[in-house]
Structure 1
Amino acid sequence: MTRIPMALTIAGSDSGGGAGIQADLKTFQMRGVYGMSVITAITAQNTRGVFDIHTVPQSTVRAQIQAIAEDLPPTALKIGMLSTADIIECVAACLQTHRLGPLVLDPVMIAKGGAPLLQQNAIAALIACLLPQADIITPNLPEAEALTGIPITDDASAAEAAARLQALGAKSIVIKGGHSGNSQDAVCRDRVFLPDRTFVLECPRFDTPHTHGTGCTFSACITAELAKGHGMEAAIRSAKAFITAAISQPLNIGSGHGPVNHWACQTNGPALG
């Protein structure tokens, strides 16, 4: 019997539906993967900002992971918002006990509207506990700088930062270019560092505020493709195509940073335009 590909997301809940657990499950569904979730935090947010964060107790996080591992083991998993050092350490310990497939780490630190989603003292815990377990990490430029202490201004400094992340244990790295200093650049460049090669993925830079959930969706798509048994490079390229479509065809909802369009790669979503 062919096993259904199954993916797990360990992340925070976004009440506005654009990022976090909600974006991940939408992406898994769109990529033909059965999605499961472990909720680490509950946020009150919409397209205008984050208004409250409630961290789920460690015992509940641990119980969620154990319940999934014992009955519905995923073929790949991703980690998003973890918020505190205690939750990071809890999740890391659980993943050492339960081997749950390739791990995609999206080091969520700041919301699209600027609200901090990772406590400062939690960065050291993330580096020490989760980077060594990550098959791939997908930081944007500010996140890569925060994790490495290296200002990233060009290909050489990006390569230096990636080398430091690999020395800390991450096997593959995608340093996303959406946060580059010059928003007038016509092209957005993501730098990819695999164990045996490097390359750059480029796409047009779209003039839209509706990019909420970009990082979550990108990493979730990588997770879904890995869950289906695809190789790392193929998974990254598929995710890049998926998120490019999702940004280029915005839903235009909300009065702030609206969500990306998870329907963009298929035809039976709502009429757009």
Structure 2
Amino acid sequence: MLTVAGSDSGGGAGIQADLKTMLALGTHGMSVITAVTAQNSLGVQGAWELPAEAVRAQYRSVVDDIGVQAVKTGMLATAELVETVAGLLAETDAPAVVDPVGVSKHGDALLAASALDSVRTKLLPLATVATPNLDEVTQLTGVRVESEAGMRRAALALLEYGPRWALIKGGHLPGEPVDLLTDGTEEHWLRAPRHDNRHTHGTGCTLASAIAAHLAHGRPVVAAVTAAKEYVTGAIAAGFPLGGGIGPVDHAWALGR
């Protein structure tokens, strides 16, 4: 498996969360780092994008030699990097999970506004599954979600850009968390209990990586997303304090079962 994303120096999200998830779910993780962040439980103190040529070289290095059975994308930061990664994905015969990371858990911007159109037109058409949260789907489609009906409208608007499946994450709505997975024909509402735990750093990265891991094992999309939802729900329940702010989910929670 390959993650194409930014590095989180605090280890809760980004490349670090992706690799932990991949290991926990029985896959070999490889990485293409797109940006380096100075980040901890309190927020993002700085971010530096890598040159497109460095991203391209990392990708070709591992894919041309080792091969890949699923790709997950996360923080891509700029239009140039979005377009570079989209070009690489177009040449790769593997399912792609696109997590269109726009902001961090703490509200820090991780994608330039000028890159949104590249995400819509270059990256989303290549996605097997796109996994925006409510803020990200509003950024991409203009649809503001305040209810489950709004999630359906947002999903259909996102599918207009070409992903095979849209997974709209509704955890920010009041009540029990619910996500909507749809390809425009089928609808699957994935519900889970809300855990009284503030330590949820890395949830989105973890979910997208878990979906990709199950796709790499050969599961169809609905089964992969359902299993990934179960994994991340357990990781949230086991999230633990680290530092002075929002701690990470526990990627190793299931290893003792």
Residue from 36, 40, 44 that aligns with 2:34: 40
Tell me if 1:201 matches 2:190. yes
Alignment map for 1:10-21 (pairs within 5 Å) = 10-21=4-15
Alignment map for 1:182-193 (pairs within 5 Å) = 182=174, 185=175, 187-193=176-182
Structure 2 residue aligned with 1:3: none
Letter of the 1:150 partner, please give it.
V
Distance in 2 of aligned mates of 1:63 and 1:45: 25
Q: TM-score, normalised by structure 1?
A: 0.91
Letter of the 2:48 partner, please give it.
H
CA shift for structure 1 position 94: 1.8
The count of corresponding residues between Structure 1 and Structure 2 is 257
Structure 2 residue aligned with 1:111: 104
Distance in 2 of aligned mates of 1:199 and 1:70: 36
Q: Conserved in 2, the CA contact under 8 Å of 1:17 and 1:23? A: yes
Q: Conserved in 2, the CA contact under 8 Å of 1:73 and 1:100? A: no
Structure whose alpha-carbon radius of gyration is higher: 1
Q: TM-score, normalised by structure 2?
A: 0.97
Secondary structure of 2:224's match? helix
CA shift for structure 1 position 154: 2.1
Tell me if 1:101 matches 2:94. yes
Distance in 2 of aligned mates of 1:163 and 1:47: 34
Tell me if 1:65 matches 2:72. no
Alignment map for 1:77-92 (pairs within 5 Å) = 77-92=71-86
Structure 2 residue aligned with 1:131: 124
Tell me if 1:213 matches 2:206. no
Structure 2 residue aligned with 1:147: 140
Alignment map for 1:20-39 (pairs within 5 Å) = 20-39=14-33
Letter of the 1:62 partner, please give it.
R
Secondary structure of 1:204's match? coil
Tell me if 1:52 matches 2:46. yes
Distance in 1 of aligned mates of 2:255 and 2:107: 31
Cα offsets for 1:70-118 (capped at 9, x unmatched): 111110111000001111011111222x314001000111111111101
Tell me if 1:238 matches 2:232. no
Q: Conserved in 2, the CA contact under 8 Å of 1:27 and 1:220? A: yes
Cα offsets for 1:39-96 (capped at 9, x unmatched): 0000000001101111001110011111122111110111000001111011111222
CA shift for structure 1 position 195: 4.9
Residue from 2, 14, 26 that aligns with 1:8: 2
Distance in 1 of aligned mates of 2:63 and 2:253: 32
Q: Conserved in 2, the CA contact under 8 Å of 1:193 and 1:199? A: yes
Larger mean CA deviation between 70-79 and 146-155 belongs to 146-155
Residue from 169, 175, 183 that aligns with 1:176: 169
Letter of the 1:231 partner, please give it.
P
Cα offsets for 1:106-160 (capped at 9, x unmatched): 0111111111101111111111110110110001111111111011122322212
Distance in 2 of aligned mates of 1:161 and 1:188: 17
Q: Conserved in 1, the CA contact under 8 Å of 2:97 and 2:211? A: yes
CA shift for structure 1 position 196: 3.8
Distance in 2 of aligned mates of 1:25 and 1:91: 19
Cα offsets for 1:13-49 (capped at 9, x unmatched): 0000000000000000000001100000000000011
Letter of the 1:18 partner, please give it.
G
Cα offsets for 1:153-180 (capped at 9, x unmatched): 2232221211121121011011111122
Q: Which runs of 5+ in 2 are unaligned?
A: none
Q: Conserved in 1, the CA contact under 8 Å of 2:156 and 2:184? A: no
Identical counterparts, % of pairs: 44
